[in-house]
Amino acid sequence: MKSKGITIGTLSKRTGLAPSAIRYYEDQALVAPGRGPGGQRQFEKADIRRLSFIMIAQKLGFSIREIRDQLASLPGHRTPTAKDWRTLSERYRGELDRRIATLERLRDDLDGCIGCGCLSLDKCRLYNPDDSAARHGPGPRYLMGDRPDSGSDTGDESVEIDE
């Protein structure tokens, strides 16, 4: 048993991730290495695959939080098998399809609506607040969907924007 575990430096070279990034991922509970007698992190081989998965998921635009949730579905009591990983990553298929569909819809709307130069806030389907092509995660979007009251605004009295 060469059971000493992989050091963070080695793992860094293997995955291309900076040690600081790996420590950060531990902080975010994406990996949970053991510790040696001196306090050093000891990773397992399986962690290489785990980090690989994380990198791919990031590339697909998932946030750390989402990735953590996804990883939570792995069996905790044993080292994940190739099949576990396959099952997990197959979900991305659907997500990607959905994302492509969103972009295609956006493109069609663009053809139909911006294409005409109207850019009207009231009529334009582009203003559907539900789909942004951007990531779902980043920046201060924690109050997205918070559109102001629009309260005592009866008509669209003067919204037309011709000149």
Which residues make up the interface to DNA (CB under 7 A)? 7-10, 12, 18-21, 23-25, 36-41, 58, 63-65, 137-140, 142-143
The correct pick among 34, 35, 56, 73 for binding a second copy (CB under 8 A) is 56
The correct pick among 38, 150, 154, 155 for binding a second copy (CB under 8 A) is 150
Q: What's the min distance (Å) between Cβ of 33 and a second copy? A: 16
Burial status of residue 80 (CB atoms within 10 A of its CB: 0-12, 13-18, 19 or more): middle
Look at residue 48 and give the partner it binds from a second copy, DNA, none, a contact being a CB closer than 5 to 8 Å depending on partner kind. a second copy
Q: Is 133 in the site for a second copy (CB under 8 A)?
A: yes
Question: Hey, CA dihedral for 163, 112, 100, 97, is it positive or negative?
Answer: positive
Q: Is 45 in the site for a second copy (CB under 8 A)?
A: yes
SS (H, E, C) the chain: CCCCCECHHHHHHHHCCCHHHHHHHHHCCCCCCEECCCCCEEECHHHHHHHHHHHHHHHCCCCHHHHHHHHCCCCCCCCCCHHHHHHHHHHHHHHHHHHHHHHHHHHHHHHHCHHHCCCCCCCCHHHCCCCCCCCCCCCCCCCCCCCCCCCCCCCCCCCCCCC
Q: What's the min distance (Å) between Cβ of 65 and DNA? A: 6
Look at residue 117 and give the partner it binds from DNA, a second copy, none, a contact being a CB closer than 5 to 8 Å depending on partner kind. a second copy
Chain residues that interact with a second copy, rule: CB under 8 A: 12-16, 18, 45-46, 48-49, 52-53, 55-56, 58-61, 79, 81-83, 85-86, 89-90, 92-93, 96-97, 99-100, 103-104, 106-107, 110-111, 114-121, 124, 126-127, 131-135, 138-139, 147-148, 150, 153, 159, 161-163
